[in-house]
Structure 1
Amino acid sequence: MKLRRFAELLTRPRKVLAGPVAQWFLTAKGQQLERMERELLEPQLLRHFGSYVLHYNPPVAMAAAPSIRHQVSLGDKTLSVDMQCQEHRWPVAADAVDVVVLQHSLDFAISPHALLREAAHCVRPGGHLIIVGAHAWSFFGLYRYLTRSVWRHAYCLPPARIIDWLGVLGFCLEKRSYGAYRPLLNSVRWQNKLGWLERLAARKKAPLGGCYMLVARKMVHGAHPQIQSMRINVAKLRPSVVAAKTSHQKNFEHSEEHDR
């Protein structure tokens, strides 16, 4: 009976948690994490340009991208997005988007593999995919196990595993950075006192931040030159006629046998 219950727990389908995640970001700790993640996202989005940037299931207000003309959001119906869709079926054409932003989307996806494939399918060659996720090896990762909030259901995938998935999908990692080194506390006073920890860890680029940001570029496959097929005449490959032995050659062979 216990084994059956355990098997049912493993095979239980995951619920869409986009709404509860957005509600958590309205709390004091959620706003603290939002500010620290915005410090990573906004300078990065300043470097990109093009026509469209796409945010899937944005838990907070979308970070500004001044050099991109249109910002589009899509995702679950519980969020205030421009287009509603399922995570494995986006109403976006292939190779149509310059930048796709997944802010904690993989942490709460029903299938992170399917979501990442769908996002990669929409990025144009030479475009970028920006992923922000929660890091398990940090103060925030410890908070995930102690809290009763929605973060108990988060995957918190390791950055190395996501980088491997991106390589399979034809992406090349350009940047990996960390943030939110301070523990999330309700006291603003203690948060300010621990500001030195944030500055020191960011300067040392320690891989122990509460969140990470991965920036990957979709590789452009070069066109292979079309080599014209060379048709070789079969007649040219026929063996040539061997000349018959002359009397001089026969006398030479007899002389060699005599010398032996």
Structure 2
Amino acid sequence: MTTAVEHFAAWLNTPLGQYLRDNEAGWFDRTTVDIFGYKAVQLELPQLDCLRANRMPWRCIAGQSGGVQLKCMAEALPFAEQSLDLLVLPHTLDFARDPHAVLREAERVMMPEGRVLISGFNPWSLWGLRRLKANDVPWQGHFLALHRLKDWLALLDLQLVRGEFLCYRPPLQRKGWLDKSRFLDSAGDKFWPAGGGIYCLDVVKRVHGMNVIEPDWSMVILPNRSTAAVVEKMRLQAKKDRCK
């Protein structure tokens, strides 16, 4: 049986879907390129390779849709506790049966200070209004409100580091209209920054009681002025001796 996320993957080939995919691919490239570690996993949507710019030695696309490298359920991941450095959820929460259970699994498998990247549809946008008159993909997804998602993350000690809104053009399938409304992407960030059709979140797993160990600079012995003067005097004397 074809799942909702597979229908969404097929929708990405439409003009509007391609517009979304290009914008999200750019954000994931910019964000993952500077995330380091050993193991990175993307859940669902192999058509959108979110890990292509990342340089971790072990990367995998998992999920239930066709084309994934590892078959599993997002609500029951086959990874040990605290075993992943990066987990990417491209619209995984939008089409999961239990989005909160997916986040609980994300918290379980992430290393302390590990990163979770999330993209989802913004219900408070023109894209969110579109779902009121449509029953097909992708408009029947959960469209989780950002404030609700932030509450879930806080309960799991997953801290939002930064976020970005994308896709300010109206959700129209005609490529000509999408091209004509290109200016809205740059104007959106200035005039209605929270009105993008898509939000992208960069989240880190915080562990209480952990402290970053820094060098004890008080133990570093620096040469004083008198020592430096002696060294300079010796250098000059050696130079004179060579010139004789």
TM-score by length of 1: 0.75
Q: Is the 8 A contact 1:32 1:184 kept in 2?
A: no
Task: Sort the Cα spacing of 1:99 and 1:223 in 2 relative to 1 into closer, same or farther, 3 A.
Answer: closer
RMSD over aligned Cα, in angstroms?
2.0
- CA shift, 1:147, in A, is 2.8
Indicate whether 1:34 and 2:21 are aligned.
yes
Separation in 2 of the partners of 1:123 and 1:205?
34
Partner of 2:195: 208
Instruction: Give CA-to-partner distance per residue, 1:118-169, whole Å, 9 cap, x none.
Output: 1121111011111100001112112222334222421100111111111111
> Secondary structure of the equivalent of 1:183?
coil
CA distance in 1, matches of 2:210, 2:161: 23
Alpha-carbon offset, residue 61 of structure 1: 2.5
Residue 204 (structure 1) shift: 4.9
**Corresponding position of 1:51:** 38
Give the aligned length: 209
Whichever residue aligns with residue 155 of structure 2, its letter is V
Aligned partner of 2:126 in structure 1 is 139
- Once the 2 structures are TM-superposed, how far is the Cα of residue 32 of structure 1 from its aligned partner? 1.3
Aligned partner of residue 107 in structure 2, secondary structure: helix
Offset at residue 80 of structure 1 (A): 0.9
Percent identity for Structure 1 against Structure 2: 30
TM-score, with length taken from structure 2: 0.79
CA distance in 1, matches of 2:171, 2:210: 50
- In the other structure, the counterpart of 2:83 is 96
Q: Deviations over 1:38-61 (max 9, x none)?
A: 232211112211112211112632
1:66 is aligned to: 54
Q: Any unmatched runs of 5+ in structure 2? A: 212-244
Q: Distance in 1 between matches of 2:178 and 2:140?
A: 26
Q: Distance in 1 between matches of 2:100 and 2:18?
A: 28
- The Cα shift of 1:117 comes to 0.6
- Distance in 1, matches of 2:134 and 2:116, equals 30
Max Rg structure: 1
1:115 paired residue among 102, 105, 125: 102
* TM-superposed deviation, 1:84: 0.5
- Residues 16 and 110 of structure 1 are in contact (CA less than 8 Å); yes or no, is this contact kept in structure 2? no
Aligned partner letter, 1:71: R
Unmatched 5+ stretches in structure 1 = 1-14, 225-260
